[in-house]
Structure 1
């Protein structure tokens, strides 16, 4: 009974959270919840300073990041770079397995020099040794599986350097949310990038991001309709068949 009450309470809380969004568009995620906000606000962006005897910002030969010939690629915490996601993958896998085994063992007694017949005459209750032992067994197994995937995704998202590791590798994080009517599309990118893999355009491809986590989805009325209800999901987990 206690388990039923707990389950009903959980379902009621979930239903209340859904009912609170009825008639409203999905809310954006607060910018303060990510590492990007901390990297941009808690740590001030570095400012270029000119030491005595160095070139002025108007000099064509200045090596500063903001100069005409300077390196404008992201290199430190708080810098922004563009992540280019161009995925065009396809895979087809087909496997089949078949296995069969059969065996039989028989130990009939009548052929043992007439000894079983002699014993049968002295056994009570009509017992007999006509069949000493007989065992038969069969086993069959057959399995097949096919996987076919085709994925295409082309996106660009601005990401922030949230941490520079001691070895120089940059940890980046990017979030993009676009709301159209009552449907919110979300794009999340996280991972680690080497500074030398960032192009002169301050861009990096997804295939050069180590430990990459790319999520592209959404939430809203259409996404809710496409998902099975909570009760159906619970039944599919609990039901053993």
Structure 2
């Protein structure tokens, strides 16, 4: 009885470890402070008693544009992501071996018999292995998302970050984006393509019952994990 108890306890601990290794990341929540738009500090208004209405701090040049260039400015990202990948591999090995032992002969060159049968031995063996694997993957993402400038680097490159949430009947869909862009790549309409974002991190997923229905249960994840010996 003690052996069965220890075996059951060990198996339970092993099962819990396997389940803990296959847990998914915590669900994503809206209003994450990391993706919140920064609020630039409000500069103190300088009062100049010159009797005029012109203010140099808020004035724009006749040749200025609407491109984002400061912290807190908004820029529209055009998502045009298309990826295709394929890979295949094939392996085949074969080996054959054989050992033959002729009948044992005695005096006079006659074969030694036991029960009327000559003593001889023959062994034949062979191994064969073949493997074939292939994988194909394609992804496509299109749309627009407006993000904000969170930092301006010393070389005038802009760090952008933002998210978009859509509440649907069966849950929430969200898009999150971070990266670095060059002011030269921004179009006159204050837009930039996602392919021109450096160090881009684009997340598109969902939450709620619709997303949970596509996830495997904890026991299925355990049997599909590396903890399962078979």
Normalising by the residue count of structure 1, what TM-score does the alignment of the two structures yield?
0.64
Among 93, 96, 117, the residue aligned to 1:103: 96
Q: Secondary structure at the match of 2:172?
A: strand
CA spacing shift, 1:78–1:92, aligned 2, 3 Å: closer
Give the structure 2 partner of residue 229 of structure 1.
217
Query: Which of residues 121, 127, 139 in structure 1 aligns to 2:128?
Result: 139
> RCO (CA 8 Å, sep 6+): is it higher in 1 or 2?
2
**Aligned equivalent of 1:169:** 157
Instruction: Tell me the residue number matched to 1:158.
Output: 146
Residue of structure 1 in register with 2:30 after alignment: 29
What is the distance in 1 between the residues matched to 2:123 and 2:145?
Answer: 73
| CA spacing shift, 1:101–1:27, aligned 2, 3 Å | closer
Instruction: Tell me, yes or no, if the aligned pair for 1:36 and 1:161 is still in contact at 8 Å.
Output: no
RMSD: 4.3
Report the CA distance between 1:224 and its aligned residue.
Answer: 1.8
Q: Where does structure 1 lack aligned partners over 5 or more consecutive residues? A: 19-25
- Is 1:178 matched up with 2:166? yes
| Number of corresponding residues | 204
Secondary structure (helix, strand or coil) at the match of 2:77 reads: strand
Deviation, 1:206, is 0.5
Q: Whole-Å Cα distance in 2 between the matches of residues 209 and 168 of structure 1?
A: 14
Gaps of 5+ in 2: 1-8
Higher helix share: 1
- Report the CA distance between 1:197 and its aligned residue: 1.0
